[in-house]
């Protein structure tokens, strides 16, 4: 992928991420997050991860964010008059954030991360396909897979119990 295309996609990603954090209305934040998820799915496609990109749209943008929108609609949250915190808290948060970002960029800009031919090297045609992902998932990560299914069951039961109206 050419650097220009990456630059455009990165700018769009950062713009929609800022939209999530800076929007006054929660629904607009949620929609900005959906847009961000979409752009990240596009990034996945450029990184030869087709199945994960499709799952990102189906699971994240198609189910989790719908849940968020449902809750916002259910609680009838309108635009907030003072969505962002007081000036002191805002300044401290931005300061800490920039400190973290500077440290991260300092370490991440070093050349030589990762072994082998890296991004320039070609991957086999089946890289990122369902078959290869399933092979890795069900052989080396089998235990994590089984535990995750138990986790999902626990989450479903927990959500139903928590959101139920109890008869007092």
Partner 1 sequence: MTVVPINWYLILGAVLFTIGVIGVLVRRNVIVIFMSIELMLNAVNLVFVALSRQLHVMDGQVVVFFVMTVAAAEAAVGLAIIISTFRNRETVNADELNLLRW
Partner 2 sequence: MVIDLLIAVIKALIVIGMVLPLAGILGWVERKGSALIQDRIGANRASIFGFAGAGLVNTLMADPLKFLTKEDVIPAGVDRLLHTLAPCVNLFPAIVAFAAIPFGDVYEVGDRVINLQAVGLNVGILYVLAMLSLGVYGVVLAGWASNNRFSLLGGIRGSAQMISYELGMGLAIVAMVMTFGTLDLQEMVRAQGHLILGWIPAWGILYQPVAFLLFLTAGIAESKRVPFDLPEGESELVAGFFTEYSGIKYLMFFMTDFVDVAVVAGLVTTLFFGGWQIPYLMRDGFHLPWGAVVALPQIVVVLLRLVAFMVKVIFFCWVQVLIRWSLPRFRYDQVMRLGWKGLLPIALLNVLATAVVVLALQG
- Residues from 36 through 75 that contact partner 1 (CB under 8 A): 36-37, 40, 43-44, 47-49, 51-52, 55-56, 59-60, 63-64, 67-68, 71-72, 74-75
Q: List the interface residues with partner 1, window 98-137 (CB under 8 A).
A: 98, 100-101, 104-105, 108-111, 113-121, 123, 127-128, 132-133, 135-137
Using CB under 8 A as the binding rule, whether residue 9 contacts partner 2 is answered as no
**Residue 66 binding: pick among partner 2, partner 1, none (C-beta 5-8 Å cut-off by kind):** partner 2
Region of 27-35, 99-107, 114-122, 145-153 interacting with partner 2 (CB under 8 A): 27-35
Minimum CB–partner distance for residue 64 and partner 1 (Å): 5
Angle at 68 between CA 7 and CA 42, to 5 degrees: 25
Q: Which residues have CB under 8 Å from 114's CB, separation 6+?
A: none
Nearest to residue 34, comparing CAs of 67, 1, 78, 4? 67
Q: Is the dihedral of CA 142, 145, 149, 155 positive or negative?
A: positive
Q: Which of residues 95-124 bind partner 2 (CB under 8 A)?
A: none
- CB 25 to partner 1: min, Å: 10
Q: How many CB atoms lie within 10 A of CB 145?
A: 10
């Amino acid at each position: 992928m050419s650097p220009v295309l990456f630059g455009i996609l990165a700018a769009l990603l950062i713009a929609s991420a800022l939209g999530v954090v800076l929007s006054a209305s929660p629904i607009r934040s949620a929609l900005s997050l959906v847009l961000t998820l979409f752009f990240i799915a596009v990034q996945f496609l450029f990184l030869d991860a087709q199945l994960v990109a499709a799952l990102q749209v189906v699971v994240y943008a198609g189910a989790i964010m719908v849940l968020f929108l449902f809750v916002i609609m259910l609680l009838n949250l309108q635009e907030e008059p003072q969505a962002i915190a007081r000036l002191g808290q805002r300044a401290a948060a931005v300061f800490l954030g920039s400190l973290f970002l500077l440290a991260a960029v300092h370490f991440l800009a070093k050349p030589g991360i990762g072994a082998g031919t890296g991004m320039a090297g070609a991957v086999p045609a089946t890289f990122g396909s369902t078959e290869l992902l399933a092979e890795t998932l069900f052989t080396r990560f089998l235990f994590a897979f089984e535990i995750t299914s138990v986790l999902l069951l626990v989450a479903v039961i927990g959500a139903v119990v928590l959101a139920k109206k109890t008869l007092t």
